[in-house]
Amino acid sequence: MSTSAPVRFDRGHTDDLMTFLAAAPSPYHAVAVAAERLEKAGFRQVRETDVWDGTTGGKYVIRGGALIAWYVPEGAEPHTPFRIVGAHTDSPNLRVKPQPDAGSQGWRQIAVEIYGGPLLNSWLDRDLGISGRLTLRDGSQRLVTIDRPLLRVPQLAIHLDRTVSSEGLKLDKQRHMQPIWGLGPVHEGDLIQFLEEETGIPEGEVAGWDLMTHSVEPPAYLGRDRELLAAPRLDNLLSVHAATAALTAAATSAELSYIPVLAAFDHEENGSQADTGADGPLLGAVLERSVFARGGAYEDRARAFAATVCLSSDVGHAVHPNYAERHDPTHHPRPNGGPILKVNVNQRYATDGSGRAVFAAACERAGTPWQSFVSSNSMPCGTTIGPITAARHGIQTVDIGVACLSMHSVRELCGADDPYLLANVLTAFLGE
């Protein structure tokens, strides 16, 4: 048996990803952390309500849990096309209801709603915190993070459910997923008052909230040789982090033939139909205003969009060693094998042959291996923001990502080298 260590790439990028994940327990935090990194790279925020100018340099727009950032190089024409990396900031989780204070049988609980399609069993018996944003009476907003064990969804003991071993765990989303956070009588307003105290907000000033739970267990390397990464929200903050790094790197390129763009959307996990989602107007409005701010007209916008390419980057499925029959027999993406090209002829993914060529060329320039993913014909295929972006904007789109296990779990698993490899490909793509 060989005891030689596997080849390792730069783990500095993955170390930084772990820092990013820990600092971004909600979409609003992810956007804030990405914006902070863009600011350090010289980008500046522009507001949608302001008049935009056609100056060169890096700019970004924030709307809720979504961020669009772009870099206009010297000499860019109004019809200069865009190179876009699309991703999303949200992950499946448990989100706090409008009337959060609940309880039963002497237990104090928090009423939650299921967001997206989480693996519910992965949220049982986990130490959970709360994060998100608070809206004050004056309309201002504050991020909040309680990153310590605060909540827990307790599983029923096997002694009280003898069928769980033979028939499997069956969870009712309403009755079985409400976390506990203490003992005693329920008082309306307790949770929000607690959050006001924790964040130093005067009592009674919070008028609205967008709150969610997160596991407080930090990201970690896993395995004998630490060749795997176990972490929350790899779907899809792994791509947001890689795209942010790629955009800031592209902004230092001496010559750019395209305008590089990062589009990080919210609400992908529940269909993208939101003003901050890929099926909303945000990306198209930003790209059009960029064209018009540089003196362009509709003809310039049409020319730019026609030559634009988007890489829709989201995690995909690595072959599962315990369920290999669930995968296509000729397509088995493996961790640390490089990013994956996702294909579905029914357009659940937007990739076609010409998109494959674009992706392969970026991988070649980056010196990075890559893999192909296609679902088994007997299994339904998931989807991404890729087909939505292609259909809504008429932009050539290619679906890619990183292979992982336990997608939609509270804690997912990928190869520790793959985030670095993906970032290299995105940098090559944006910096052309």
What is the DSSP track for 112-165? Answer: EEEES---GGGGBT--EEEEEEEEETTS-EEEEEEEEEEEBBPPPPGGG-TTHH
Return the SS3 of 359: helix
Return the SS3 of 399: strand
Return the SS3 of 170: coil
Which of these, 428, 285, 277, lies nearest to 358 by C-alpha position? 428
At residue 108, the pLDDT reads 98
Residues of the chain with pLDDT under 50: 1-6
Residue 342 and residue 351 in contact, taking contact as beta carbons nearer than 8 Å:
yes
Quick: pLDDT tens for 276-335: 999 999 999 999 999 999 999 999 999 999 999 999 999 999 999 999 999 999 999 999
Distance from C-alpha of 252 to C-alpha of 57, rounded to nearest angstrom: 10
Distance from C-alpha of 51 to C-alpha of 49, rounded to nearest angstrom: 7
- Cα 129-131-133 angle, rounded to 5 deg: 160
* Dihedrals phi, psi of 125, to nearest 5 degrees: 55, 35
Strands 259-265, 309-313: parallel, antiparallel or unpaired by DSSP? unpaired
Distance from C-alpha of 29 to C-alpha of 23, rounded to nearest angstrom: 7
At residue 9, the pLDDT reads 66
What is the DSSP track for 216-278? Answer: -PPPEEESTT--EEEETTHHHHHHHHHHHHHHHHHTT-S--SSEEEEEEES-GGGTS-STTST
Which of these, 389, 305, 318, 321, lies nearest to 349 by C-alpha position? 389
